[in-house]
Amino acid sequence: MHLKRSTLSLLISFLIGTGWGIALIGALSMFFSFLPSHFLFALLAAVFGAVPGLLLVVFLEYLLLKSEILAQLKKQTHLLEKISHLPK
């Protein structure tokens, strides 16, 4: 990525890390909660425990991607406006 980042981009990046933490904590807590019953059931519960955090990560990555696309479109629009005002 580029060096100059907006505050929104930094906040989204922080929240992506938080989402990964939520996914890890959810998976581990569900796994160890259901481990005494059956190992395969504990693995399935771990997958379901990680889903909310992973959905958060996917949603935030989507927002970050859309904000970067918007920034690029603004740069392109600015350049096109400069080009259109050049003398012929």
pLDDT per position as a tens digit, 4-63? 678 888 899 999 999 999 999 999 999 999 999 999 999 999 999 999 999 999 999 999
Whether 31 is covered by a domain: the verdict is yes
The string of DSSP letters for 2-65 reads -S---HHHHHHHHHHHHHHHHHHHHHHHHHHHHTTT-HHHHHHHHHHHHHHHHHHHHHHHHHHH
Total domain count, the chain: 1
Whether 1 is covered by a domain: the verdict is no
Whether 54 is covered by a domain: the verdict is yes
Whether 36 is covered by a domain: the verdict is yes
Whether 46 is covered by a domain: the verdict is yes
Domain with 62 in it: 7-84
Whether the model clears a pTM of 0.75, i.e. scores above it, the answer is yes
- What pLDDT score does 84 carry? 85
Whether 2 is covered by a domain: the verdict is no
